[in-house]
Structure 1
Amino acid sequence: MNATPPVVDTATWQDRLAALRAREKAATRELDAIAAERRRLPMVEMPAYTLEGENGPLPLADVFDGRRQLITYHHMWSAGREWQCPGCTGFTSQYTRLEFLDAYDARFVVVTQGPIGEALAYKKRVGNRMPWYSTAGSPFGADVGAPRDGGYAVNVFLRDGDTVYRTWHTDGRGTEQLSHTFGLVDLLPYGRQEEWQDSPEGWPQSPTYSRWASSKDIAAAYGPHTPDA
């Protein structure tokens, strides 16, 4: 049997929870301060890139689809692979309802180095709901931290007419704040159950990524065979 947290009386539990809550609230206030600083970042003007969407080539400014703000997730792509990066596939599979961004004059899309035909076929295979664009014929991805055969990234842009500005970027674990997956899992008593985490003695732990769904698993769960895909 796996180890479990110690059993205590309600008053003791409430005291420990209150102490933890103080730290959680401090972290929330720090995230508020970070967001305030993010809103004060300067920005840099972008060249006039041309991407490709499902209806053909289009300038970067048109990817905004009339909105002023744009978030791009740069999905890793390996030429010739049936199943692309499971982390990217799983991360973007979370976003099935993005219409709420309309009220904020914003859009969230996937950009990948894969050719648009292959990218759209993969999107359908894994049941992804986000708009996809290809930067295969453009240096756009490489210029914003997601080169061909490189890693993933998140970028944010602001549009003023036909001029686009880059306002924010992150990669690696910086993307976790955009995911509900880890937010939910980190609430659990056993957490992510990965070896690198600081957990009590006896807690179940396994190699990093070993509990993540594969791209094939995601396709089986969300792929085109489902009624609403």
Structure 2
Amino acid sequence: MSARSNALPPVVDRATWEKDLAALRVREKAATRELDAIAAQRRRLPMVEMPDYVLEGEDGPVRLVDIFGDHPQLIVYSHMWQEDAEWQCPGCTGFTSQFTRLAGLEKFDARFVIVTQGPIDEALAYQRKVGNTMTWYSTSDSTFGSDIGAPPNGGFAVNVFLRDSNGTVYRTWHTSGRGTEQLSYLFGLVDLLPYGRQEEWQDSPEGWPQSPTYSRWATPQEIAAAYGDSDR
């Protein structure tokens, strides 16, 4: 069933609508306060010291400590990579395509980059093909990816690192799976819609449009057609 079906929420008068919205707002505000409390706990997490890894960037080998640039904080998205695949993970490709203007992070003393297990020349070619604007690095000749939860032919991950004044790098936070959703503006917008994500696992009213999980996600080919290098 498509979103253009006849499934509709009940129609009520304005007073009833405002009453129900106010009841929902109580839960929304409670969730906001809980997210604030979670962030406060995250800021109090201990951290673990990292070795002096060397990755590959567009201009050659680069130490992990130097990927921070002028900033003490670094977010790393580990992009899934399948050897010899023409199109890489659609979830990773779609997720990272959302981040096109990251200069605002500099105001908060941080960078956000992609690290993948693919060889750097192949990774950069894929970056151009799908029009990704983030900075990419390769860990194909390093254990860095495996050590942060993203081994070869493995899953994706988000990790956060802190560099101290002596140049020592520490790992402060990690997540994977649906833990990455908090970074996606797409799902935040979609979850506001009456029909939501329209995926079968979601709790929706009877008759609401629903389809298999992932089936509405943009494919790498669609992302490449929309944003990719026209000269590819």
Q: Give distance in 2, aligned partners of 1:162 and 1:114.
A: 27
Give the counterpart of 1:6 among 10, 18, 24: 10
Q: Give distance in 1, aligned partners of 2:167 and 2:44.
A: 22
Normalization by structure 1: what TM-score? Answer: 0.97
Q: Which amino acid aligns with 1:145?
A: G
Q: What is aligned with 1:84?
A: 88
Matches within 5 A, 1:1-229: 1-160=5-164, 161-225=166-230
Cα-to-partner distance string for 1:154-177 (whole Å, 9 max, x where unaligned): 000000132100000000000000
Deviation at 1:3, TM superposition (A): 1.4
Q: Give distance in 2, aligned partners of 1:162 and 1:125.
A: 35
Normalization by structure 2: what TM-score? Answer: 0.96
Deviation at 1:225, TM superposition (A): 2.4
Q: Determine helix, strand or coil for the equivalent of 1:25.
A: helix
Instruction: Answer yes or no: is the 8 Å Cα contact 1:156–1:169 preserved in 2.
Output: yes
Q: Give distance in 2, aligned partners of 1:58 and 1:6.
A: 58
Q: Give distance in 2, aligned partners of 1:2 and 1:138.
A: 54
Deviation at 1:66, TM superposition (A): 1.9
Q: Give distance in 2, aligned partners of 1:213 and 1:92.
A: 12
Q: Give distance in 2, aligned partners of 1:31 and 1:214.
A: 31
Q: Give distance in 2, aligned partners of 1:165 and 1:206.
A: 42
Instruction: Answer yes or no: is the 8 Å Cα contact 1:73–1:111 preserved in 2.
Output: yes
Q: Give distance in 2, aligned partners of 1:194 and 1:106.
A: 34
Instruction: Answer yes or no: is the 8 Å Cα contact 1:2–1:204 preserved in 2.
Output: no
Q: Which amino acid aligns with 1:167?
A: T
Q: Give the count of matched residue pairs.
A: 226
Cα-to-partner distance string for 1:105-124 (whole Å, 9 max, x where unaligned): 10000000000000000000
Deviation at 1:8, TM superposition (A): 0.2
Q: Give distance in 1, aligned partners of 2:197 and 2:12.
A: 24
Q: Give distance in 2, aligned partners of 1:131 and 1:210.
A: 28
Q: Give distance in 2, aligned partners of 1:65 and 1:86.
A: 29
Q: Which amino acid aligns with 1:121?
A: A
Q: Give distance in 2, aligned partners of 1:148 and 1:162.
A: 28
Q: Which amino acid aligns with 2:230?
A: H
How big is the alpha-carbon RMSD for the aligned residues of Structure 1 and Structure 2? 0.9
Q: Give distance in 1, aligned partners of 2:205 and 2:169.
A: 48
